[in-house]
Amino acid sequence: MATNSLVSIDDISKEEILRILSAAQYFEQNPDHKILDGRVVATLFFEPSTRTRLSFETAVNRLGGRVIGFSDPAVTSTSKGETLKDTIIMVSNYVDLIIMRHYLEGAARYATEVTDVPVINAGDGANQHPSQTLLDLYSIYKTQGTLDNLTITMVGDLKYGRTVHSLLMAMRYFNPTFRFVACNELQMPQEYIRFCDDNGIAYTVHSDFSEAVIDTSDIIYMTRVQRERFTDIMEYERVKDLYNLRNSMLANSRPNLRILHPLPRVNEIDRDVDDNPKAYYFQQAKNGLYARQALICRALGIEVPIVNK
């Protein structure tokens, strides 16, 4: 296994997170630094995800690398029954880095075991999506000027939302206070509550998306409440609009508050929030480009210059 692979956010230390954020900052200032010098990167999307693939491929292109790969597994030998192992070994003959997304959980971890080429996990089923977490961290860092001592409110689907789980775990180094706002059925799983207890992380649990919660937050991280997550459809109908954010709810919020969302959104953030300067979800997606440029350089062992602050 190549040591620079990134499968899970748990694989990297606090120092590495900060180094990646610093590199992301460099690329925000110098997005077209051709630091990859023609290196070849594979983007293997066994599950289509246009958004993530475009972000990674743009990152490679802006760094001066070349991209090969597929975005639709139907056209590859996988659909003819080729194993993941064989596909990864075959592709490893051609490239310096593999960026992969797969519908099966643990696929990226397994890929690192069958190749010496570094692997970046661009999502493995419901399991991990570390580049999303790093762009979230970068967005928080950029808007707040720090990652330390922030109050982060997570809203919506906290049970199945892997982005909130990964963000929670990555924030453990930075003394956060969390507020978990969700209906009973979609509250933060016990496993993560225990994680907070074990790591001395402060948190409060709410079923009410109240002004008291909003007005004391530095970050509000919104997620989508999906109908198919509910065993009881009546319950879905009852709660579906309780966790929607409207502009009027932000009237007394902190000046530094920013609203994040992993996108795509449906109606959990009203369109009238978009023009509020506290809405940050579109810039957040753009930050994904810089965070991914930083991750690609880390995976390839390429030094990124230190930014001038």
Say whether residue 83 binds another protein (CB under 8 A). yes
Say whether residue 6 binds another protein (CB under 8 A). no
Query: Which of the ranges 15-23, 35-43, 118-126, 300-308 carries the binding residues for another protein, by CB under 8 A?
Result: 118-126
Provide the greatest CA pair distance for the chain: 58
Say whether residue 90 binds another protein (CB under 8 A). no
Q: Which of 5, 55, 127, 166 binds another protein (CB under 8 A)?
A: 127
| Residue among 96, 43, 111 at smallest CA distance from 73 | 43
CB of 6 to another protein, least distance (A): 15
Angle at 248 between CA 242 and CA 252, to 5 degrees: 105
Say whether residue 110 binds another protein (CB under 8 A). yes
DSSP symbol at 243: T
CB of 91 to another protein, least distance (A): 16
Q: Residue 123 is encoded by which pair of tokens? A: 């999502």
DSSP symbol at 146: -
Contact 185, 247 (CB under 8 A): no
Residue entry with tokens 């609203």? 259
Q: Residue 275 is encoded by which pair of tokens? A: 């023009």
Q: Which of 14, 34, 51, 85 binds another protein (CB under 8 A)?
A: 85
Q: Which of 53, 101, 109, 292 binds another protein (CB under 8 A)?
A: 109
Return the bridge partners of 66, or none: 40
* Shorter beta-carbon distance to another protein: residue 87 or 244: 87
Contact residues: another protein, CB under 8 A: 8, 83-85, 102-107, 109-110, 124-128
